[in-house]
Chains A and B, each alone.
Chain A
Amino acid sequence: MKSSFARNGSAPKPPSGPRLLLATMLLAGAASMTACDRPSDQSVGGGVSSSASPSSSPSAVPVTAPPSGTVAGPARASAPATVRTFELGPDAREASSADGTYRVRWEPEGGAIPDAEPFAIRLEVVRADGKPLAGDARILVDAEMPHHGHGMNLVPVVSRAAPGKFVASGMLMHMPGRWVVAIDVEEDGLAERAQWYVEIE
């Protein structure tokens, strides 16, 4: 009898350490940020307006628990005090958002996704015509395992590093298998998603 623990998906299996296989994947039409596009009410990743830093600084008083019955996630982590700008490397993953309005590129900090450890990604969003992203655009980052029906145990926090450049910290892919990384750009009441398959060994 064979266990379904065996490898997910049909991806080829090149040698690697904690590694990823990527597909430039495409948009499963999931452009709209409606609840039905999400695996659960909780699965929306952390986000930030491209013109604002998120959330509060650490508190010296007991952390307040989320109110009962809320569907919102826990309090978001504070952004790093300063997020340096960056240039993405040649291996950065790239895809267009669903309607082609944006080009999105990203790469894990340190070059590789660590094995079951938190990490950050650096991402860059530009319009298809090369113009900079509007100041009030909102970026959300999340990842889930579609075959398992669950996402990450952390809500990523997105911080703006420069116009069109962001760092999403608090990513955690704790299981091997196929993950989908989704980056949503929300602007003028509309959102578009770019997404990729990431195969974690």
Chain B
Amino acid sequence: MSRSSERWRRLALRALHHACALLVAVAPSVASPDSFAGDEIDRKRLPPELAALDDDELGRLARMSPLPPLAEDRSNRFAGNADAAELGHLLFFESRISPKGVSCATCHQPERYFTDGKALAEGVGVARRNAPTVVDSARRRWIGWDGKFDSVWSQALAPIEHPDEMGSSRERLLRTVRDDAPLRSAFERAFGAFPAALAAATPDPLADRSASESDAPRQPVVNETTVLVLKALAAYQRKLASGPTPLDRFIAALKDGGGAVGEADGLGALSPAARRGLATFVGRGGCYQCHRGSSFTDEEFHALGLAGANGRVPDDPARLAALDFLQANPMNSAGSFSDERDSPKAAMVRGLRRSGELFGQFRTPALRGVALTPPFMHDGRFASLDDVVRFYDTLEGASPVGHHGEMLLEPLGLGEEGRADLVAFLRALSPDLPDSGIWVNPSGTPMRTGQGGNER
């Protein structure tokens, strides 16, 4: 058959297929033999509030706990380095980094689960977004509400240099390390001698410079040394891991058969209200669709139709604007400062898809410890979890743009009692807080908690 006639034959077949398309669009589905996490749970042990869960819902419940081991950060060879973490710990609370006396801990306060309690972060000025917790940040695929960064260390430079946050520079950051004996000692334990090219001299190679005063020959060593410090900050934050929650104890009791309904470390770890809220979360509430797995996040981005500053439609491009920056950033996982540029994360960065649907999408926040971090959403618009749940329950004030191209979000109609149950469940995700020096200012401010807990 000639190529021409073959082409016509295929075109004719194609037309036939188009005609038949409607007839075959809904084909029967066939189950795969994959495992069922819900099998780990003995249905007979389910308390009455959860007895009606179907197999899908039970599987979702089973996958909520335990947290898997923390994955390695292949872009940061110092991620597990104790000396680097010690330097990072000192620097996290070091306000001399900023000419205005702002430190990382200004917005990430241990006593507030490493948030600041404000709607919008406040440093030198007021930032555009709410300060998220840094607890468990090493587990996040993308960092920041818009996922502008792909690692904790690459993110750490942004607040240091942002005029509304710390208003500093990498030169000042390094000067602070170089000129402070404990900081310099910690640096040299982790990384070796401080670079001779940046030693104190007249003129100071780390003097503040305006953007137009480029010091091109010295810039590479400034950048490389800055990245070491950033990786030390990440090594510290990697240690800020959430502990077990009441939900973990509840699910462990379901899986292992330990603890009775009335025991606080067994099935009694969740109150009846929290159990009802759990049923809503894995079922009719649909929360699980984005808040997935044991971290309660899909690590990706969604647009909820939250009205923008104009009071009508979303006006923060969020993920759409972040993507170009992320891919162009030489400090991303695929960039020259990464310690492994061929990692799966680096491949993800290179392979990100850019499209208009990313407009207004924000990262799905993880929910472990969520009750400890008010206010909520990317701009802190909701003061309490009750407000957040009320939004999903009623969608009052939402812009009618839906989720992507479809109205995936609809008012849930939970009512006051159902909302309270869901909030009780979210509070049961508050972890035990460690009695660890790593969680406090090295100068010695103990951590306290003001909210959360397992309300009954």
Binding site for B on A (CB under 8 A): 1-7, 9-32, 40-43, 46, 58-66, 73-78, 81, 91, 98-101, 111-112, 115-116, 118, 145, 147-157, 169-170, 172, 174-177, 188, 190, 192, 197, 199, 201
Contacts and interface: CB of A to CB of B under 8 A. Distances in A.
Contacts of A27: 17, 21, 24
A40 B359 CA distance: 14
Nearest to B59: A17
Nearest to B332: A63
Contacts of A74: 323, 327, 350-354
A188 B323 CA distance: 35
A120 to B, nearest CB: 10
29 contacts: A5-B285, A5-B286, A15-B38, A16-B32, A16-B35, A17-B36, A17-B63, A24-B27, A28-B21, A29-B18, A31-B13, A40-B355, A46-B351, A66-B327, A74-B350, A74-B351, A74-B353, A74-B354, A91-B33, A101-B10, A148-B404, A149-B357, A154-B352, A157-B347, A172-B300, A175-B290, A175-B300, A190-B10, A197-B29
B289 A15 contact: no
Listed from nearest, the 6 A-B pairs whose CB atoms lie closest are A5-B286, A149-B405, A29-B18, A1-B413, A15-B36, A29-B17
A97 to B, nearest CB: 10
Given A40-B355, A99-B17, A21 B324 contact: no
B27 A98 contact: no
A62 B410 contact: no
B262 interface: no
B353 A154 contact: yes
Contacts of A21: 29-32
Interface string B347-386: 1101111111100000000000000000000000000000
Contacts of B144: none
Contacts of A40: 355-357
Contact of A155 (B30, B55, B328, B353): B353
B56 A13 contact: yes
Contact of A115 (B36, B63, B290): B63
Contacts of B63: 17-18, 115
B353 A58 contact: no
B351 A149 contact: no
A174 B299 contact: yes
Nearest to B16: A29
B33 A152 contact: no
A26 B24 contact: yes
B336 interface: yes
A196 to B, nearest CB: 9
A17 B35 contact: yes
Given A22-B29, A66-B354, A99-B14, 17 more contacts: A5-B286, A6-B284, A6-B286, A13-B54, A16-B31, A26-B27, A58-B350, A61-B336, A63-B327, A63-B330, A74-B327, A74-B350, A78-B342, A101-B10, A150-B404, A153-B353, A169-B347
A21 B32 CA distance: 6
Given A21-B29, A63-B329, A65-B328, A3 B284 contact: yes
Interface in B285-322: 285-286, 288-290, 292-293, 298-301
B341 interface: yes
B354 A176 contact: no
Given A6-B284, A19-B32, A58-B342, A31 B14 contact: yes
Given A1-B413, A29-B18, A148-B408, A58 B334 contact: yes
Contacts of A13: 54-56
Nearest to A73: B353
A149 B412 CA distance: 22
A16 B334 contact: no
A23 B351 contact: no
Contacts of B293: 115-116
Contacts of B51: none
Contacts of B162: none
A165 to B, nearest CB: 20
B13 A23 contact: no
B19 interface: yes
Contacts of A176: 288-289, 292
Contacts of A75: 327, 350
A190 B7 contact: yes
Nearest to A1: B413
B396 interface: no
Contacts of B324: 65-66
B175 to A, nearest CB: 25
Contacts of A9: 29
A176 B408 CA distance: 12
B406 A148 contact: yes
Contacts of B7: 188, 190
Contact of A4 (B27, B59, B300, B408): B408
B48 interface: no
A110 to B, nearest CB: 11
Contacts of A17: 34-37, 59, 63
Contact of B34 (A7, A16, A175): A16
A100 B31 contact: no
B403 interface: yes
Contacts of B25: 28
A32 B14 contact: yes
